[in-house]
Amino acid sequence: MGKNGFDIHFGLRRQRELYLRPFSFSIQPMYKAVFIDMDGTLLQTDHTVSEANKKEIKRLLDMGIIVVPISARPLHGILPITQQVVPGTMPVVSLNGSYIFHNGEIIYEASVDLPEVVSIHQHLVPFDVSVMYYSRMDWFTAKESKLVVKEQAITTVKIKIQPFESTMEEWRSSNNGPNKILIAGESALINNVERQLLNLHREKLNIYQSQAGYLEVMNLQASKANAIAFLLNQYGLHKGEIIAIGDNYNDKGMIEFAGIGVAMGNAPDEIKRVADHVTDTNNNDGVAKALRYFFK
């Protein structure tokens, strides 16, 4: 136990809530859904799911708990993994909440308006960064790089390498656009690019790092928290009935939104501070340990 009688596992947000209400000894509520991030959370460093994590997720599914993978990855980088862990009847949230797939159909998507795409592209021209555009099951880049090759390694869908103008023409002709723009590069450079893009686009776009050196740009309505809110409405649940588990800055919103927000042991301190509970690391079965803690 920590000072003032608080469980050391619980974060500052829950401590503040406890200060504002009388202590209660009521039975812990039953949570009906769990939303689990993938990289750095469900997945180990080698991009595999541990047997302990698989076992705990199966136990929850057998209890009738909804288990939803939620990731910055494109759908084609998620399904080969999630098909081993959750049934096809479960929704899958991809591209940081801008694309939701369920029972073979797209049930929600949000894309970046093409004028904003052009503006982002023009701003990035002077910078030594790799820019990838994700649109539904397709993804595009203007040139190959080591970072593009790294992203290609997590999916069997080949990236389309073509001039930016060709990609724009495809989107104009199909009345479509990217669900997500990924800007990857050296960490200090990405920090600088993030500051500049926020100054120019913060009122129109969601812009944040999913990990060091990876900057995500999406529609303002696209976020993991908004995707969860959409699915709660579909299932008739409220946020007090759910748990969200994540490890990085793009998980902050859903960790704050959920009835119980869980941060991984490998998460940055800023993410741990907003969580209700801090579990072990992704390489030490942190998801399984969190699930055992809340579903005894």
Q: Give me the active site residues, please.
A: 37
Distances (CA, A) of 200 to 89, 111, 121, 197, 260: 40, 18, 13, 5, 34
Phi (first) and psi of residue 140, to 5 degrees = -135, 150
Residue pair 224/70 in contact by the 8 Å Cβ criterion: yes
- For 278, how many CA atoms within 13 A lie in the half-sphere containing its CB? 18
283, HSE (Cβ side, Cα atoms, 13 Å):
4
Contact 73, 38 (CB under 8 A): yes
Please report the beta strands in 185-230, taking only residues with DSSP state E, as ranges in sequence order.
205-211, 214-219
Which DSSP symbol is given to 214?
E
DSSP 57-83: HHHHHHTT-EEEEB-SS-GGGTHHHHT
132's tokens: 């990838």
d(CA 244, CA 35): 5
Please tell me the distance from the alpha carbon of residue 21 to that of residue 161, in angstroms, as a whole number.
56
